Structure 1
Amino acid sequence: MKMDPTLERTNDVAPSTALAYLDPRYWDERFAQEEHYEWFKDYSHFRHLILQHMKPSSSVLELGCGNSQLCDNLYEDGITGLTCIDLSAVAVEKMKKRLLSKGYEEIEVLEADMLDLPFSDECFDVVIEKGTMDVLFVDSGDPWNPQPETVNKVNRMLQGVHRVLKPNGIFISITFGQPHFRCPLFDAREFSWSVEWSTFGDGFHYFVYLLKKGQRSSDSSGNAQKVDMPSISLFHDELEDEDYIFRTNIDEMECLN
């Protein structure tokens, strides 16, 4: 399925092609203009799926925070041990100023690459990302057989996440990537986590993957478990324009139906 080129966008910073998402300059320019944007719905839509896996004492790392308010929302729900990273220095500086203006001084915001996490081993209870890993799939080619470069980048990211998670820590991935594309990557033999997933959204459903370190079954493959999976249809009245652009520019969308 291809994007309708006549689709009117409400967000004037949306690129004409998804390949722009791979360019760091695009993000710096975008974050310089844009104060806030939520990929794949806001916190209220998936709060019930993730908050139960965190405690007030949890140390949480958010990958690719951009200008999302996810960390604000978690903080307001009592999760104060938050560290946020982004590759864009512009996003990091604006995020720092916003959080300080709210008095959320405990949240640490760092400029860092999710492919090269600058943290020691086993230092976070939870790692969370929302739409960040999806950028790695923009030029992945055939979704059933992604290009080796894409697989290598995804593996680097997952290896880093697995490394910084404490024993029994949880990686939460919020995405539109379907299980038959994501689970083979999550379920690589080098990882000790179990894989579960559930969905949220109306019409088009987004996916929440819960990867629980140290809880993999002895049979090292095919252990992904579905939790409350409704049927999927492609559109609904509340689709955000740029989410639509992002999805339809990535080849995974060819296989949704």
Structure 2
Amino acid sequence: MGTNQNTKSAHNESVAPATALAYLDPKYWDERFSKEEHYEWFKDYSHFRHLILPLLKPDSSVAWNVIVLELGSGNSKLSEELYNDGITHITCIDLSAVAVEKMQRRLRLKGMKEIKVLEADMLDMPFGNECFDVVVEKGTMDVLFVDGGDPWNPQPSTRAKVMAMLEGVHRVLKKDGIFVSVTFGQPHFRRPLFSAPEFTWSFECSTFGDGFHYFLYTLRKGRRLPSDKGEGERFDEPSICLLQDELEGEDYMFRTDVDELNC
């Protein structure tokens, strides 16, 4: 077995939960982050840099002081990678005090003092209206769906949490702000939520990754078109092919909304 596979196995044995429901328990995350230094959900920045960087820095020849909020930063290095690409005005929030303290220390040692890391709940964000240019989440919203039931018709409690998150994101975004969501959630499940009547953002979807495609959604506030589909729409379910290395990763536990995997 190769080194990479050994690393994955050791990681799964040490921090992966017995069931996906553990992801809803704050104590699980505190315990996990106390042991784990770094883990990337849904591939690292290098795999979707070509998709997200043009949104954050559309003209690389001029200074671009975009103000970014990252939801559920955990122990990801996304904020560091963005910082190295010139995006320095970043605020990260996470519900775990352990994760926040460890990230604050890590960033301080690297001299990335402009990045702020706060303990906060994405369902009740402590920020004023229209104060961020971009809000980014990578795998954080997926946690809300682990006990959601039917993906076409999420349980009322699940839908309420998801809508609370999205309403908060919509509120803190500036007039022409952008919400970027990196996820396993397929368009036919996510678009009805993103396109709820109370939101004014447009909807775009890109994919990245090998074998199984991960999704990067771009929602631009104030750009919604009358033709945008909303609640009640169903979309054709895509054919999905998973490579062996994708199946071995912990990310696979989030694929609870796919009944059949076809290559």
Using the size of structure 1 for normalisation, the TM-score is 0.90
Judge which range, 114-123 or 212-221, deviates more: 212-221
For residue 215 of structure 1, what is the aligned residue in structure 2? 223
For residue 202 of structure 1, what is the aligned residue in structure 2? 210
Question: Stretches of 4+ moved more than 4 A in 1?
Answer: none
Aligned residues: percent identity? Answer: 68
Which of 245, 255, 261 lines up with 1:238 in the alignment? 245
Q: 1:246 & 1:221 partners in 2: Cα distance?
A: 25
Which of 91, 104, 116 lines up with 1:96 in the alignment? 104
Question: What SS does the corresponding residue of 1:190 show, helix, strand or coil?
Answer: coil
**Between Structure 1 and Structure 2, how many residues are aligned?**
240
Which of 164, 174, 183 lines up with 1:156 in the alignment? 164
Query: Partner amino acid for 1:214?
Result: G
Q: 2:26 & 2:197 partners in 1: Cα distance?
A: 32
**Contact persistence 1:62–1:84 (CA under 8 A):** yes
Q: Superposition pairs for residues 160-179 of structure 1, below 5 Å?
A: 160-179=168-187
Q: 1:29 & 1:95 partners in 2: Cα distance?
A: 15
- Evaluate the alpha carbon distance shift between residue 236 and residue 10 of structure 1 in structure 2; reply closer, same or farther with a 3 A threshold: farther
Q: 2:245 & 2:228 partners in 1: Cα distance?
A: 39
Q: 2:250 & 2:153 partners in 1: Cα distance?
A: 26
Which of 30, 42, 58 lines up with 2:66 in the alignment? 58
For residue 39 of structure 1, what is the aligned residue in structure 2? 41
For residue 85 of structure 2, what is the aligned residue in structure 1? 77
Q: Deviation at 1:221?
A: 3.0
Q: Deviation at 1:146?
A: 0.7
- Evaluate the alpha carbon distance shift between residue 222 and residue 188 of structure 1 in structure 2; reply closer, same or farther with a 3 A threshold: closer
Q: 1:145 & 1:67 partners in 2: Cα distance?
A: 32
Question: What SS does the corresponding residue of 1:16 show, helix, strand or coil?
Answer: coil
**Contact persistence 2:201–2:219 (CA under 8 A):** yes
Q: Deviation at 1:238?
A: 3.0
Which of 87, 106, 127 lines up with 2:95 in the alignment? 87
Using the size of structure 2 for normalisation, the TM-score is 0.88
Q: 1:255 & 1:167 partners in 2: Cα distance?
A: 41
Query: Partner amino acid for 1:233?
Result: I
Q: Could you give the per-residue CA deviations for residues 4-55 of structure 1, whole angstroms, max 9, x where no partner exists? A: xxxx844120001000000000000000000000000000000000000013
**Contact persistence 1:57–1:81 (CA under 8 A):** yes
For residue 4 of structure 1, what is the aligned residue in structure 2? none
Q: 2:52 & 2:260 partners in 1: Cα distance?
A: 27
Q: Deviation at 1:244?
A: 1.7
RMSD of aligned Cα (Å): 1.6
> Unpaired runs of 5+ in structure 2?
1-7, 58-63, 232-237
* Larger RCO (alpha carbons 8 Å, 6+ apart): 1
Q: 1:131 & 1:255 partners in 2: Cα distance?
A: 22
For residue 30 of structure 2, what is the aligned residue in structure 1? 28
> Unpaired runs of 5+ in structure 1?
1-7, 224-230
Query: Partner amino acid for 2:117?
Result: V
Which of 15, 21, 33 lines up with 2:17 in the alignment? 15
For residue 146 of structure 1, what is the aligned residue in structure 2? 154
Query: Partner amino acid for 1:194?
Result: S
Q: Deviation at 1:255?
A: 5.7
**Contact persistence 2:203–2:218 (CA under 8 A):** yes
Q: 1:189 & 1:255 partners in 2: Cα distance?
A: 31
Q: Deviation at 1:167?
A: 0.7
